[in-house]
Homo-oligomer: A and B are copies of this chain.
């Protein structure tokens, strides 16, 4: 089949999937979960081929694409979580009656066919398939060449699991062609594909946004800030900064820049330096007057390091912190650490990012931490979905208007 035929086939199956009951969808998810566990050895052996092919690649990439028994069990558990979540399809979002007696209901329905273009991580194959299935959408998966064997094996296991069930297994389509051209073709499949979600590095996302004619949800670039106010509780602040920077530096919700109120800087900076052992700290001139750090350049304020590096800037007050965030943030997640009510309210009302944290780690911006089960990515745009993309974000709605013969007056 050509890529276009695959997408058309997905669309055909989408209309069958859209009509399945919740229990039929949950049964399919349960079978898929079991099949992943039962086929662990096969999945590991196929994954070994990808690892072998990637042996000259950076360790970080090899780590991302490597499957282990635990990682396969995690994927299976992700499917199990989806079973326990409410089915968004068919929910009445709102309903009202007009003065002329027309009764209007706004009903949640699947989007239709969703394409996802992603890099390296094979778990995205299972997460995306599971989320789309539960929300009644067909999915077109376009992974990267580095994980081709793993992805193919995963899709094969998922589809075989639901063979001879009411679930239309071809609502899951896998694009084996990993040339760039297949992405370019996919993102212009208007009338067949309803949505494209790129999930990966900034380069991938920008190339999709630049050329797509199908609607896109951008995901993932996170230049996240923590502002430590003069009224912060230092006992809470230090562990939060350590968690936000060090617990998993390669992810989009890790903290990249720390803004510190000038009145607390002298006290907290040495404590932070001790706590952040192993992190390369870069400082503004004022910071460097307190600690002998690598000087930060203007480029640092813009950078998503995705690494054990942290830029530090001392600010006069919360207003300057907000200004800095407005200028440099990617509008993913920002945190304020403070015990002062008015300062916190000012921050929450002034900063317009996907998620604002008060006295909590930026690492909590995440589908499972929000209670959404898995996620299709974290949207950093304002249209359709913002923040973690879970089941409801993978739906749209239609209006049903029940009348008794009404006509519209001219």
A-side interface residues toward B, CB under 8 Å?
A: 15, 18-19, 96, 98, 102, 104, 109, 111-112, 190, 194-195, 209-210, 213, 215-217, 233, 235-236, 239-240, 242-244, 247-248, 326, 348-350, 352-361, 363-366, 369-371, 381-384, 386-387, 396-408, 410
A19, A190, A216, A360 interface centre (most CB from chain B within 10 Å): A360
A403 near B195 (CB under 8 angstroms)?
no
| A104: B residues at CB distance < 8 A | 370
Q: Which residues of B contact A349 (CB under 8 A)?
A: 19
Closest to A247 in B: B410
Alpha-carbon distance A95/B381, docked complex (angstroms): 21
Q: What's the number of copies of this chain in the assembled complex?
A: 2
A403 and B358 in contact, given A19-B349, A112-B382 (Cβ under 8 angstroms): yes
Q: Determine whether the beta carbon of B355 is less than 8 Å from that of A406.
A: no
Closest Cβ neighbor of A237 among chain B residues: B405
Cα distance, A31 to B239, chains bound together (Å): 52
- A-B contacts, 12 of them at CB < 8 A, read A19-B349, A104-B370, A111-B382, A209-B213, A215-B382, A247-B408, A348-B400, A356-B398, A358-B400, A358-B402, A359-B402, A361-B407
Known: A383-B215, A383-B396, A399-B387. A239 touches B364 (CB 8 A): no
Task: Check A407 against B352 for contact (C-beta < 8 Å).
Answer: no
Q: Which residues of B contact A400 (CB under 8 A)?
A: 348, 355-356, 358
Q: State the CA gap A381–B112 with chains docked (Å).
A: 11
Contacts of A363 in B (CB 8 A): 407-408
A346 vs chain B, min Cβ distance (A): 11
Distance to closest chain B CB from A211 (angstroms):
8
Contacts of A401 in B (CB 8 A): 355-358, 360, 364-365
A354 touches B398 (CB 8 A): yes
Q: Which B residue's beta carbon lies closest to that of A98?
A: B371
Q: Looking at A15, A382, A397, which has the most chain B CB atoms within 10 Å of its CB?
A: A382
List residues of chain B with CB within 8 A of the CB of A371.
96, 98
B contact residues around A15 at 8 Å (CB): 326, 352
Cα–Cα, bound, A210→B190 (Å): 10
Also in contact, A405 and B352, with CB within 8 A (given A194-B383, A382-B111, A396-B383): no
Cα A369 to Cα B99 in complex, Å, equals 10
Query: How far is A111 from B386 in the complex, measured between Cα atoms in Å?
Result: 11
Complex formed: what's the CA distance from A404 to B235 in Å? 11
Tell me the nearest residue of chain B to A90, going by C-beta. Answer: B349
User: How far, in whole Å, are A403 and B365 apart by their CA atoms in the complex?
Assistant: 13
From A111, A355, A383, A397, residue with most partner B Cβ within 10 Å: A383
- Contact yes or no, B195 A408, CB < 8 A: no
CB pair A399 B354 closer than 8 Å: yes
- The CA of A407 and the CA of B364, in the complex, are separated in Å by 8
Residues of B within 8 A of A240 (CB): 405-407
Docked complex Cα distance between A410 and B410 (Å):
63
A270 CB to nearest chain B CB (Å): 21
**Which chain B residue lies CB-closest to A217?**
B383
Establish whether residues A352 and B109, one from each chain, have CB atoms under 8 Å apart when the complex forms. Answer: yes
Residue from B216, B364, B407 in contact with A102 in the complex, judged by beta carbons closer than 8 Å:
B364
